[in-house]
Amino acid sequence: MKENSFAVTVIFTSRIFHLIAVRMLIVLILLLLSTSDFPICLILPPLTCSYVPGRYAIRATANYGRTDDKICDADPFQMENTQCYLPDALKIMAQRCNNRTQCVVVAGVDVFPDPCPGTYKYLEIQYECDTRRKGLINDSSHLAMSLLTCR
């Protein structure tokens, strides 16, 4: 079976509040369409924050796997496992996106090891900008946004 893949683009600029509203609307549409008979591919607008290069940190969590049987639905047998986590997902995202104003990550087995073979997976990223610190911080508190793409 060929593994599907998709791309996540992260760009750090401004307009964060507008993008939160757009993301919420798109996720709502995705959830409404999730009962369809075909997989849905959704690539959301780029993640953004107010930005001065090297002057802020991003608190983030990431998972490549499956934690919900309604999100990015496909074959029901491929969605039974909702405890599918890749512990290194954030580390992989950090290696590809740290110290960049833009990064593109193709979510599939070429980038992320397969944490649960036979399970239909998606990439989920949650992050928040922190102007007091630099770098990527693995901290799940105070997360403001999420990016969810699937195929």
The side-by-side arrangement of strands in the sheet containing 57-65 is 135-138, 57-65, 122-130, 145-149
Task: Express each pLDDT in 117-127 by its tens digit.
Answer: 998 888 888 77
CATH code linked to domain 6-149: 2.60.120.740
Task: Express each pLDDT in 14-43 by its tens digit.
Answer: 344 444 545 554 554 544 444 444 444 444
Instruction: Give the type of residue at 123.
Output: L
Phi-psi region of 72 (alpha: psi -120 to 50; beta: other; left: phi over 0): left
- Single pTM value for the model: 0.55
CA distances from 125 to 2, 13, 68, 84 (A): 24, 17, 14, 15
Task: Express each pLDDT in 49-83 by its tens digit.
Answer: 544 555 555 667 888 999 888 887 778 778 888 89
